[in-house]
Structure 1
Amino acid sequence: MPNTDVSGLSMLGSSAEIATKPEDAVLERVPAGHQGTDYVVRFTAPEFTSLCPMTGQPDFAHIVIDYIPNEWLVESKSLKLFFFSFRNHGAFHEDCSIYIAKRLIELLDPKWLRIGAYWYPRGGIPIDVFWQTGKPPEGVWLPDQGVATYRGRG
């Protein structure tokens, strides 16, 4: 039977504060119940927001994170609150995207992780940021992230 011990979690099932900056956001993890089985976990955040560090105007992204767990899974409420912590945070698209991935790697030590950050246009140019930790394990079903490239009115 999978280990589902959630006794150490501080946010799940209770009211939680939203951090004012990503470095202060608490990410929590739970034991992966199927260690030894390679499977992909996907989180999609279609309404991610942060601020332009130069103008202070809002930036919007559709973020897709895929990872293959090792011993841990990210607790989804803590991930949602982590994403919220970017709402008043000024950083470039690339910085936000890679920071998210690196925080998850630090927390989870997954077998593999990739992030696709599909940013909506700023100044008429959409910026997409893609990164992964290496090749995924053989035999893992890895679906396309399903986000179309930006087309505007075309």
Structure 2
Amino acid sequence: MNPNTPEHSQLGKASAYIDQYDASLLYPLPRAAKRREIGIAGSVPFLGADLWTAFELSWLNLRGKPQVALAHITVPCESTHIVESKSFKLYLNSFNNTRFDSADAVRERMRHDLSAAIWHGGPVQATAGVRLRLPELFDREPVHELDGLCIDRLDVECTQYQPAPELLRAALHEKPVDETLVSHLLKSNCLVTGQPDWGSVQIRYSGPQIDQAGLLQYIVSFRNHNEFHEQCVERMYMDILARCKPAKLMVYARYTRRGGLDINPWRSSHPQLPPANVRTARQ
């Protein structure tokens, strides 16, 4: 069986909106090809997950009354596949006129389907996490910006708009530091449609101090780059690791929503609790 490719997905194409439950709408995309581009073969050299938020989830109860919820989804980075985001939206729309006896039934159905998709026919080694937030708890959904020192204040000249890891520099022979740096100037483009993807990125590290001006220029260099969110974050992680040689590293990006979905990849060199899936003001 040939692997699914982005070009054969529903991205950029007219799509029928099916409102009866259909798990086959999920379109898995293999991670391996893009990882090979950045020097990853076999086991990944990081931990992490892709944190999704679905803002447009609805179904019918057994009496036909519509129900709504927010969904927080966690996709482990070890999975062999991601789910193409438009197919995920179409899949969620298929719940719209489908009856379920409870929110728990919806959550379990989503968990089962997503877990199968992200391993795409292989054994499920780690399930997708799904948590539903019902309307009575909507006011517990906070808005919070990424913690850390914002480097956007720097008055730098930017001339490169494709990933330029040579811009990354660190004080390799000086005393190591612990820092958390943040930028809101991340922009990349959809791999298939070329539509803009906007995000903020947090970089937490221990090791040689990273030159902040170079880091900001590097983040800006993704501006005309075509890759999915998950792929951009992994490229950043590998570039910073190679060029700046931190002892510990975490890269976490929060992208603005599209089609009622936001995707927030997180990659870390060391085991730690995942960051809270808390939206920023732009999301």
Q: TM-score, normalised by structure 2?
A: 0.40
Aligned match of 1:152: none
C-alpha distance in structure 2 between counterparts of 1:66 and 1:23, whole Å: 21
Look up the match of 1:113.
128
State the partner residue of 2:60.
Answer: 51
Partners of 2:23 and 2:128 in 1: CA distance: 22
From 78, 83, 93, the counterpart of 1:84? 93
Shift of 1:42: 1.5
Q: Which amino acid aligns with 2:14?
A: S
- Give every structure 1 segment of 4 or more consecutive aligned residues whose post-TM-superposition deviation is greater than 3 Å: none
Contact 1:19 1:25 in 2 (8 A): no
Aligned twin of 1:126: none
Letter in 2 for 1:16: S
Q: CA RMSD in A?
A: 2.4
> Structure 2 unaligned runs (5+)?
120-124, 137-269
The gaps in structure 1 that reach 5 residues or longer are 122-137, 148-154
CA distance in 2, matches of 1:80, 1:22: 12
For 2:7, what is the secondary structure of its paired residue? Answer: coil
Alpha-carbon shift at residue 13 of structure 1 (Å)? 1.4
Partner of 1:20: 19
What's the offset of the Cα at 1:18?
Answer: 1.9
**Where does residue 127 of structure 1 map in the other structure?**
none
1:120 offset after TM fit, Å?
Answer: 2.4
Tell me the equivalent position of 2:109: 99
CA distance in 2, matches of 1:74, 1:27: 7
Partner Cα distance (2:5, 2:22) in 1? 26
Q: 1:61 aligns with which of 62, 69, 81?
A: 69
Identical residues among aligned pairs (%): 19
Displacement of 1:16 in angstroms is 1.2
Describe the shift of the 1:13–1:111 C-alpha distance in structure 2 as closer, same or farther (beyond 3 A): same
